Amino acid sequence: DAGVTQSPTHLIKTRGQQVTLRCSPKSGHDTVSWYQQALGQGPQFIFQYYEEEERQRGNFPDRFSGHQFPNYSSELNVNALLLGDSALYLCASSLLYGFNYGYTFGSGTRLTVV
């Protein structure tokens, strides 16, 4: 049973560009959350999607947007990239009401903005 799959694994972009990261959740999971982990920091919550709607959002600017598809997969889009957006982006899937079992995380996408 495949866990959470993220693509690409690494990405280098230029300041001002736009990027799309992709995530396929664990089979059976209906909720996808995105986190940003900067170097030396813990994961910071960006937003969560359930039933193709943004359910909750963390303290991130509107440059960060997302989408969830009918098959529960999700995309994270970041516009007008800044150097400070360089980080590991983690996707986590879960059941909306199965939180007690914890999230299943993907291995992440390492984004470098130059």
Partner 1 sequence: DQQVKQNSPSLSVQEGRISILNCDYTNSMFDYFLWYKKYPAEGPTFLISISSIKDKNEDGRFTVFLNKSAKHLSLHIVPSQPGDSAVYFCAASGGSYIPTFGRGTSLIVHP
- Rounded-to-integer distance, Cα 99 and Cα 112, Å: 31
User: What tokens appear for 72 in the block?
Assistant: 């529960």
- Rounded-to-integer distance, Cα 99 and Cα 79, Å: 30
Question: Which CB, 6 or 81, lies closer to partner 1?
Answer: 6
Q: Which one of 20, 22, 30, 45 is in contact with partner 1 (CB under 8 A)? A: 45
Helix (H) or strand (E) holding 50: strand 44-50
Q: Interface with partner 1 includes 70 (CB under 8 A)? A: no
Question: Which CB, 22 or 45, lies closer to partner 1?
Answer: 45
Q: Interface with partner 1 includes 84 (CB under 8 A)? A: no
Count of H-run helices and E-run strands, the chain:
0, 11
Q: Which one of 17, 27, 41, 77 is in contact with partner 1 (CB under 8 A)? A: 41
Binding residues for partner 1, rule: CB under 8 A, are 4, 33, 35, 40-45, 48, 56, 58, 90, 92, 99-108
